[in-house]
Structure 1
Amino acid sequence: MGRVQGKVALITGGASGIGLSTARLMAREGAKVVIADYNVNGANEAAAAIRDSGGEAVGLFLDASKEASIKEAVEFTVKQYGMITVLFNNVGLTDLQKDLDVVNIDLVEWDRLMNVNAKSVLLGSRFAIPHMVKAGGGSIVNTASMAGFAGDSVRSAYGASKAAVVNLTKYTAAQYGKDNIRCNAVAPGLILTPAAKTSMPQAVLDIFEKYNALPYHGEADDIGYTVLFLASDESKFITGQTIQVEGGHYMANPSISDFNQYLAQFQQ
């Protein structure tokens, strides 16, 4: 207990999935938490549940596509709790019907994903950093993705936006490290959030698991605990890094699973 005691955290996209897991863990470990989400009812319900468990949290509406809304979320956090020392830039969007290969991608969708997935990270940091400087420092954690490290058949905009988050993380860390502000990112693989469980066919889940080094998928808490570590003073000498939490999906030669199946026929 108390790993982030006394810290004030703004968590965007905090009403469900990875954001909700992180909010619960942060509050349990002593942080005061603002849960900001487009789904304001979900944010308020999550905050109420945290308060019922003895933590301190409030919900807030956030439209991560709007600069003014992001600024308001930061200012609300400071007004509510006197400062902001942790920012978890977690909002991210994708649409497999429109985010296609580079020839067929919907360009409106390209702009939308770049605005929400990358620009919102920039803006969250832009508005939070001056307050962190006043507070004597802070930790920014950005949600990237394993999609930012390799190509895919679709999701061109999503992958490009998450690659931008990886590099923006480095730039932010380099520019504000002397102000005692750290900036890191977490890159999830396929995580079994409620949305993933309901929207992804079992066949797709099986394909991803086949190429994991581990024999299972990740859970939201696997990311939440990583963010908690990066927000805490336990990681005080880590900055500019992106931690890939993806079960070793990209760790080995991608053909290893098929090659092992090939070898197995000679061992029978």
Structure 2
Amino acid sequence: MGRVENKVALVTGGASGIGLASAQLLAQEGAKVVVADFNLEGAEKVAADIKAQGFEATAVFLNAGEEESIKEAVEFTVATYGQINVLYNNVGITNVRKDLDVVNIDLDEWDKVMDVNLKSVLLGARFAIPHMQKVGGGSIINTASMAAFASDSIRSAYGASKAGVAHLTKYIATQYGKDHIRCNAIAPGLIMTPAAKNNLPQAMLDIFTKYNALPYNGEAEDIGYAVVYLASDESKFMTGQTLQIEGGHYMANPTIADLNALAGK
């Protein structure tokens, strides 16, 4: 307890999944948390649940595709709690029906994904950094994805946007490190969020498990614990890094699982 005591954290996309787990864990470790989401009702429920546990949280509406909405969420955080020490840029979208291969991708979808997944990270940092400078520093955490490092047959915009997040993280870290502002990213593999559980058939989940080094898929809390670490002073000498939290899915020769099966292991 108390790993982020007295810090103020803004968590975007906090109404569900990874954002929800991160908001809860940050609050449990002593942070005052602002839960920002397009789903304001969901964000308010998360904040109410946190407060019911005896911790501090509030909610704010956020449209990550609009500059003014991002600015308002940051200003709301500062107005409510007097400062902002942690910004977790966690909003992300994907649409497998429109985000296809480079010949067939819907170009309007490309622009939308870049705005929500990448530009929102730039804008969140843009508006939070001046407030962090006033209080002597802070921690910016961005959600990238293993799609930033491994390509796919579809989701071209998603992968490109997340690769941009990973690299933008380095730029923010380089430009504002002397102000005691750290910036790191997290690249999750498959995480069993409600969206994954509700939308992916068991056969697909089994394929992911088959190619993991570990015999299971990740949970939202697995990312949330990393967020707490990066928000805390425990990571005070880490900046510009992207933590790959993916169960070992991408680290080995991709034929290993099939070769082991062939050998009867």
When normalised by structure 2's length, the TM-score is: 0.99
Kindly, what percent of the aligned residue pairs are identical? Answer: 71
Aligned counterparts of 1:260 and 1:95: Cα–Cα separation in 2: 34
Name the aligned partner's letter for residue 163 of structure 1: A
User: Aligned equivalents of 1:47 and 1:150: distance in 2?
Assistant: 35
1:177 aligns with 2:182: no
C-alpha deviation, 1:119, in angstroms = 0.2
SS at match of 1:122: helix
Q: Read off the aligned partner of 1:84 and give its amino acid letter.
A: I
Question: How far apart, CA to CA, are the structure 2 residues paired with 1:261 and 1:49?
Answer: 46
CA–CA separation in structure 1 for the residues paired with 2:102 and 2:203: 26
Cα distance in 2 between the residues matched to 1:118 and 1:254? 29
Residue 260 of structure 1 corresponds to 260
Aligned to 2:190: 190
Q: What are the Cα deviations for residues 1-55 of structure 1, in whole angstroms up to 9, with x where unaligned?
A: 0000010000000000000000000000000000000000000011011111000
Q: Distance in 1 between matches of 2:175 and 2:118?
A: 18
Aligned counterparts of 2:90 and 2:170: Cα–Cα separation in 1: 17
Q: Secondary structure at the match of 1:215?
A: coil
Aligned residue-pair number: 265
Counterparts of residues 58-207 of structure 1 (less than 5 Å) = 58-207=58-207
Aligned alpha-carbon RMSD (Å): 0.7
> For 1:59-111, what per-residue CA distance to the aligned partner results, in whole angstroms no more than 9, with x for missing partners?
11000000000000000000000000000000000000001111111111000
1:143-181 deviation line (CA, Å, top 9, x unaligned): 000000011011000000000000000000000000000
1:32 aligned residue: 32
Identify the residue that residue 245 of structure 1 maps to in structure 2.
245
What is the alpha-carbon distance in structure 1 between the residues aligned to residue 121 and residue 87 of structure 2?
A: 10
Q: Residue by residue, what CA displacement relative to the aligned partner does 1:201-224 show, whole Å, maximum 9, x if unpaired?
A: 111111111111100000000000
Structure 2 residue identity aligned to 1:18: I
Distance 2:12 2:208 in 1: 27
Shift of residue 195 of structure 1? 1.3
Unaligned runs of 5+ in 1: none
Residue 217 of structure 1 corresponds to 217
- Separation in 2 of the partners of 1:250 and 1:238? 23
- Describe the SS at the equivalent of 1:152: coil
What letter corresponds to residue 171 of structure 1 in structure 2?
Answer: Y
2:97 counterpart SS class: coil
Distance 2:201 2:5 in 1: 40
Q: 1:2 and 2:11 equivalent?
A: no
Residue matched to 2:227 = 227
Alpha-carbon separation, structure 1, partners of 2:48 and 2:135: 27
| Residue equivalent to 1:48 | 48
Q: In structure 2, list runs of 5 or more residues that go unmatched.
A: none
| TM-score, with length taken from structure 1 | 0.98
CA distance in 2, matches of 1:210, 1:105: 29
Matched residue type, 1:120 = S
User: Aligned partners of 1:202, 1:224: CA distance in 2, in Å?
Assistant: 24
Shift of 1:194: 1.1
Aligned-partner Cα distance in 2 for 1:55–1:252: 42
Separation in 2, partners of 1:124, 1:180: 17
Q: Distance in 1 between matches of 2:155 and 2:228?
A: 28
The DSSP-based 3-state class of the residue aligned with 2:263 is helix
SS at match of 1:33: strand
- The CA distance in 1 between the partners of 2:115 and 2:222, in whole Å, is 27
CA distance in 2, matches of 1:237, 1:136: 15
Cα distance in 1, alignment partners of residues 263 and 193 from structure 2 = 35
Q: Which runs of 4+ in 1 moved over 6 A?
A: none
